[in-house]
Amino acid sequence: MSHPRRPLSRRGALKLLAGGSLATLAVAHAPLAFAQEAGPLYKNPAAPIPARVADLMGRMTLAEKIQQIRTAWQGKADMIHELTFNPAKASAAFPHGIGHVTRPSDKRGVPGITGAAGGTAARWRTPRETVDFINALQRWALEETRLGIPVLVHEESLHGYMATEATMFPQAIGLAGTFDTDLMRRVQSVIARETRARGVPYVLSPVVDTVRDPRWGRIEECWGECPYLCAEMGVAAVEGLQGPGKFERLADDKVFATLKHMTGHGQPDSGNNISPASVSERELRENFFPPFREVVRRTSVGAVMPSYNEIDGVPSHANVWLLGQVLRGEWGFDGIIASDYGGVHELATLHHVARDLEDAAHQALLAGVDSELPEGMAFATLEAAVTAGRIPQTLVDQACARMLTFKMRAGLFENPYGDWRKTRRLTGNAEARALALEAARKSLCLLTNKDNALPLDEGTMGTVAVIGPNHAIARLGGYSSVPKQAISLIEGLRQVAPRARFVTAQGVFITTSEDRSQDLIYLADREENLRLIAEAVEVARGADTIVLAIGDTEQTSREGFAANHLGDRTDIDIVGEQNELVEALAALGKPLVVCAINGRPPSWPTVVGKADAILECWYPGQEGGVAMAEALLGRINPGAKLPVSVVRNEGQIPLFYNRKPSSRRGYLFDDAAPLFPFGHGLSYTTFEVSAPQVERTSFAPDEAITVSVDVTNTGTRAGDEVVQLYITRRDVSVTRPVLELKGFRRVPLEPGETRRTSFTITPEQLAFFDKDMREVNEPGPVTLSAGASSASLKTTEITIR
């Protein structure tokens, strides 16, 4: 009696491939009739992907396999003439095909273009040029290479597709502050369709690093200090980019996501990018692993990127325990592992754990890295090393099989092309701009509001002086390109309130240039700034109200990716005589409202002390100018919260809400509390959040707990409140944090309205790692806390029996 064959999973297929069992796999699954009559099995989209991969692998030479796990970025110079893809040059330079091309939207490789692609249009291809380049590249790969294997291309998409005319949403830290997973999902869906329309199926986002050091220039790329918030935002982002749940084949309007950067990247020693992460296994499992694990568990995330840093002496790109035992073994991840840019060759050139590039390639493959970005410098040594027997070919086969599986899951063998008509219709369209405005509105966080200085009353505010280095420029933040439009604060004010009288002044300059990709950064001339401050004071003297736009630039808060391109800071207060500007304007005694436009959290004690109100705007995206104006004038009500604790000064670092009970005893001559706590954010109305409500107070370890919280708008304006639910575990075998966020919901309320919101706390959310590093839910008391921030809570006690 015959039995139906059970389908082979991708993980099972890859195990067979890794063991060299190509023939076994092909025989197990090959529909031979198709292979004999209609062409190669690997070109049949109806055949199982594992069988297609095995068939293709069996036809490939070693050189062709190695090419599939290498990448070309500067190497684009060898496939183009000026801007145009040149098939003859490509065939000469890449006789074994091209596996992977980095950022087709930038002009890397074009003569005269140097440096990282930044905010200058000259460094980017137009949308049409990008589509034409990708389509010519793929046509050559399918029609003129021996096996017709399509090329994988990737782009950046931290808070928008980083390409000309694409929609730029608020920076990641601002999106996190919305505490709105539905919004995150919708934002990422727009990013996906704008990206895929141009022919790009794969992006290097989201960043799910738990971040704990504001000196680190990449803090703006992250979703905050809370592993639970990072995990929930991470799941929502991946669902928006890829589609929900588990699946095998990617939809044609979606892109594969990459979880970055595994791990410890957000707490580097001294706040210096790529420095070691001095954290224990317990810290990793409780604070840095959860966002990665949760996304892998709940989605089919396509890729994971290791971090540049080392953990306990082992760089992540060579960490077999991290990438093999934990990521692939414990969590069951079956996508690709793509290196961070230069992360493989740095095993030899920076960390000095590899003798040379060949040894670096060997160690990365052993750890499970499948694709070397952005150029494949170390993997270029593999053909000679494998041929000589110094590196087993099974390692190359394993990585190649995963890359081919990735391409087949993305549908590239069937349609790798971009669509210019779709690109033109979708890129920066009215729907995308409306969503960018909604996201900007929801990302604004009211930090202080003395005597209800905000919102401004258009009837009584009189002449408004709009001053500061960020008042007339739309700051977009790192990993941005050049959108179709970007609205500054003053433009937004004039658009929202065309009859109001606004006067302006620069106030100060922060740095000497506005080139986001510039390597060496210099602060603006102090004497010139003092002259500008005097001018600003005279402008403000004739006004009735002052709106001051200060903060960071894309130069003073950014990724420090090289010794000549730094981005980390020892002093996290505002720079460039901005504090002196604040003091001079405050001395006039007029209402002073600050719009904080920044990437780092606002550890600005002078500003907090002098301003009548502070609106934290982060980098609010291309529509941010309108959103900020609407908030200042009361057209909308800010409702965002802080996804980080804001330190008073560098001496408090690291500071995070989920601290252990023995920490934060206090300091001489200073306050141990943060300047602003995690989850903080005010409103133009008032809210009352009830204590958590449960049906009973005793639960078994395997029971889920339903918790209800009532929230009431007790004020006179409509507004949103973010209800936050925390737990505290006590009397268990290892120390636990004083608070752990386990639920949040952004609730819109009309004046006088009450809504009940419910949360489910699962046994897994109550579990922790015991003395033997086993994940357990031990019996003991649990405090449930609910409120509007981590510092304003009401509690209920329950017991796990």
Nearest to 9 by CA among 455, 1, 17: 17
Q: Which residue do the tokens 């589609």 mark? A: 243
Pairing of strands 445-449, 613-616: antiparallel
Q: What are the distances in angstroms from CA 496 to CA 50, 226, 499, 636, 801? A: 57, 36, 9, 12, 58
Cα separation of 373 and 399, whole Å? Answer: 14
Give the 3-state secondary structure of residue 346. Answer: helix
Q: Is 340 a catalytic residue?
A: yes
Find residue 545's DSSP bridge partners: 464
Cα separation of 200 and 198, whole Å? Answer: 6
Instruction: Give the other-Cβ count within 10 Å of 2's Cβ.
Output: 4
User: Which one-letter DSSP state was computed for residue 8?
Assistant: P
Which value, to the nearest 10 degrees, does the dihedral of the CA atoms of residues 138, 144, 150, 156 take? -40
Task: Judge whether 626 and 637 are in contact, CB under 8 Å.
Answer: no
Pairing of strands 780-789, 719-729: antiparallel
Out of 180, 213, 334, 340, the active site residue is 340
Query: What are the backbone angles phi and psi of residue 62, rounded to the nearest 5°?
Result: -60, -45
Cα separation of 708 and 790, whole Å? Answer: 18
Cα separation of 192 and 591, whole Å? Answer: 43
Q: Determine the Cα angle at 684 with ends 720 and 617, to 5°.
A: 75
Distance in Å from the first CA to the final CA of the chain:
52
Q: Determine the Cα angle at 39 with ends 33 and 42, to 5°.
A: 95
For residue 68 the two structure tokens come to: 């599939």
Cα separation of 713 and 247, whole Å? Answer: 42
Give the 3-state secondary structure of residue 538. Answer: helix
Instruction: Give the other-Cβ count within 10 Å of 733's Cβ.
Output: 13
Instruction: Give the other-Cβ count within 10 Å of 159's Cβ.
Output: 32
For residue 21 the two structure tokens come to: 């069992």
Cα separation of 452 and 469, whole Å? Answer: 25
Q: What is the DSSP string of 586-643?
A: HTTTS-EEEEEE-SS----HHHHHH-SEEEE--S--TTHHHHHHHHHTTSS------S
Largest CA distance in the chain: 95
Query: Which string of b and e fits 355-370 if b means at least 16 CB within 10 Å?
Result: eebbbbbbbbbebbbb
Nearest to 217 by CA among 574, 561, 567: 567
Cα separation of 789 and 791, whole Å? Answer: 5
Cα separation of 219 and 225, whole Å? Answer: 10
Q: Which residue do the tokens 């034409």 mark? A: 132
User: Which one-letter DSSP state was computed for residue 498?
Assistant: T
Element (H, E) at 547: strand 545-551
Instruction: Give the catalytic positions in this structure.
Output: 340
